[in-house]
Structure 1
Amino acid sequence: MKTLALSVAVASALLSGVTAAGNFRLAHDVGYAGAESLDPISPNRFFYANQMLYSRLVRQDQNGQPSPDIATRWSASKDAKTWTFELRQGVKFHDGSDLNAADIKYTLERIKDPKIDSPVAAVLGVIDTVKVINDHKVEIKLSAPHADLPLLLMDYRVRIIPENSGDNIAKTGIGSGPFMLDELDPEGTTVLKANPNYWEGAPAADAMEIIGIPDSQARVQALMAGQIDFEDSVLSQQKRLFTNNPLFKTQSIATGEWRALVFRTDTAPFDNAKVRKALRLAVDRNEMMKLVSGEGAGTVTCDHPVWSGDQYRTEINCDQDIATAKRLLKEAGYENGIDVEISAADNEPEWLRMIEVYQQQAKPAGINVKVNMVPSDGYWSDVWMKHPAVATRWSQRPADQVLNEAFRSTAAWNETFFKNADFDSALDKARSELDFDKRKALYADLQNTLWEQGGALIPYHLNQTRVMRSNVTGLDPVENFSIRWNRVNAD
Structure 2
Amino acid sequence: MFNRMKLSVAALALMAGSALAQDSVTVGLVLEPPNLDPTSGAAAAIREVTQINIFEGLTRFGPDGSIHPLLAKSWDVEEDGKVWVFHLNDGVKFHDGTTMDAEDVKFSLERATAEGSTNAQKQLFANIETVEVVDPLTVKITMKAPTGNFDFNMAWGDAVIMGPESVAGNATNPVGTGAFKFVKWTQGDSIELAANPDYWGEKPALARATFKIISDPTAAFNAMMTGEVDYFPNFPAPETLAQFEGNPEFQVLQGSTEGETILAMNNRQAPLDNVKVRQAIAHAVNRQEVIDGAMFGYGTPIGTHFAPHHPDYVDLTGLSAHDPEKTKALLAEAGVENLKLRLALPPPTYARRGGEIIAAQLRAVGVETEISNLEWAQWLEQVFRGKDFDLTIISHVEPMDINIYARPDYYFQYGKPEFVALIDELAVTVDPDKRSDLTKAAQEMIAQDYVNVYLFQLAKAGVAKAGLKGLWENWPAPIDDLTAMSWE
Deviations along 1:236-283, one digit per CA (max 9) or x if unpaired, are 212123121111111001111133221111111101011111111222
Q: Which residue of 1 aligns with 2:483?
A: 486
Q: Which residue of 2 aligns with 1:440?
A: 436
Q: Which residue of 2 aligns with 1:211?
A: 212
State which of 463, 469, 472 in structure 2 corresponds to 1:473: 469
Letter in 1 for 2:474: V
1:364 positional shift: 4.5
Q: Aligned partners of 1:338, 1:292: CA distance in 2, in Å? A: 25
Q: Within the alignment, does 1:247 sit opposite 2:249 as a pair?
A: yes
Letter in 2 for 1:452: Q
Partner secondary structure for residue 181 of structure 1: strand
2:383/2:389 contact within 8 Å kept: no
2:324/2:365 contact within 8 Å kept: yes
Cα gap change, 1:257 to 1:372, in 2 (>3 Å): same
Percent of pairs with identical residues: 22
Partner secondary structure for residue 131 of structure 2: strand
Deviations along 1:123-148, one digit per CA (max 9) or x if unpaired, are 32222221111111111122222211
1:337/1:365 contact within 8 Å kept: no
Q: Which runs of 5+ in 1 are unaligned?
A: 1-17
Cα gap change, 1:386 to 1:433, in 2 (>3 Å): closer
2:383/2:411 contact within 8 Å kept: no
| 214-223 or 446-455: bigger deviation | 214-223
1:448 positional shift: 0.9
State which of 324, 330, 333 in structure 2 corresponds to 1:331: 333
Deviations along 1:1-50, one digit per CA (max 9) or x if unpaired, are xxxxxxxxxxxxxxxxx795421111323535xx4234543346633331
Letter in 2 for 1:37: L
Q: Aligned partners of 2:158, 2:182: CA distance in 1, in Å? A: 18
Q: Aligned partners of 2:90, 2:263: CA distance in 1, in Å? A: 46
1:54 positional shift: 1.1
| 420-429 or 318-327: bigger deviation | 318-327
Letter in 1 for 2:55: Y
Cα gap change, 1:483 to 1:190, in 2 (>3 Å): closer
1:377 positional shift: 5.1
Q: Which residue of 2 aligns with 1:409?
A: 407
Q: Which residue of 2 aligns with 1:5?
A: none
Alignment of 1:312-351 (within 5 A): 312-316=312-316, 317-318=318-319, 319-334=321-336, 336=337, 338-345=339-346, 347-351=347-351
Q: Which residue of 2 aligns with 1:308?
A: 308
Q: Aligned partners of 1:110, 1:344: CA distance in 2, in Å? A: 33
Q: Within the alignment, does 1:462 sit opposite 2:458 as a pair?
A: yes
Partner secondary structure for residue 130 of structure 1: strand
1:214 positional shift: 3.5
Partner secondary structure for residue 378 of structure 1: helix
Q: Aligned partners of 2:49, 2:128: CA distance in 1, in Å? A: 27
Letter in 1 for 2:470: G
Q: Aligned partners of 1:390, 1:240: CA distance in 2, in Å? A: 33
Q: Aligned partners of 2:239, 2:454: CA distance in 1, in Å? A: 21
Q: Which residue of 1 aligns with 2:422?
A: 426
Letter in 2 for 1:55: E
1:338 positional shift: 2.5
Cα gap change, 1:315 to 1:354, in 2 (>3 Å): same
1:310 positional shift: 2.7
1:220/1:231 contact within 8 Å kept: no
1:223/1:230 contact within 8 Å kept: yes
Letter in 2 for 1:26: V
TM-score normalised per structure 1: 0.87
2:88/2:137 contact within 8 Å kept: yes
Partner secondary structure for residue 158 of structure 2: coil
2:300/2:456 contact within 8 Å kept: yes
Q: Aligned partners of 1:203, 1:128: CA distance in 2, in Å? A: 37
Deviations along 1:174-222, one digit per CA (max 9) or x if unpaired, are 2111101222324233221111332332211111112233423212211
1:251/1:465 contact within 8 Å kept: yes
Q: Aligned partners of 2:415, 2:453: CA distance in 1, in Å? A: 17
1:397 positional shift: 2.9
Letter in 2 for 1:449: M
Partner secondary structure for residue 175 of structure 1: coil
State which of 281, 284, 294 in structure 1 corresponds to 2:283: 281
Q: Aligned partners of 1:107, 1:115: CA distance in 2, in Å? A: 14
Cα gap change, 1:487 to 1:79, in 2 (>3 Å): closer
Partner secondary structure for residue 171 of structure 1: coil
1:482 positional shift: 6.3
1:41/1:158 contact within 8 Å kept: no
Number of equivalenced pairs: 463
1:439 positional shift: 1.5
Q: Which residue of 2 aligns with 1:36?
A: 35
Q: Which residue of 1 aligns with 2:381?
A: 381
1:380 positional shift: 1.7
Cα gap change, 1:410 to 1:166, in 2 (>3 Å): farther
TM-score normalised per structure 2: 0.88
Partner secondary structure for residue 359 of structure 2: helix
Letter in 2 for 1:290: D
Q: Aligned partners of 1:311, 1:85: CA distance in 2, in Å? A: 29
Q: Aligned partners of 1:374, 1:96: CA distance in 2, in Å? A: 40
Q: Within the alignment, does 1:158 sit opposite 2:159 as a pair?
A: yes
Deviations along 1:313-358, one digit per CA (max 9) or x if unpaired, are 2221332233333332222122x4622231213x333212212222
Cα gap change, 1:211 to 1:398, in 2 (>3 Å): closer
Partner secondary structure for residue 90 of structure 2: coil
Q: Which residue of 1 aligns with 2:4?
A: none
Partner secondary structure for residue 424 of structure 1: helix
Q: Aligned partners of 1:397, 1:322: CA distance in 2, in Å? A: 32
Deviations along 1:139-175, one digit per CA (max 9) or x if unpaired, are 1122222211122111123211123432222233221
2:215/2:348 contact within 8 Å kept: no
Q: Aligned partners of 2:38, 2:455: CA distance in 1, in Å? A: 32
1:102/1:163 contact within 8 Å kept: no
Q: Which runs of 5+ in 2 are unaligned?
A: 1-16
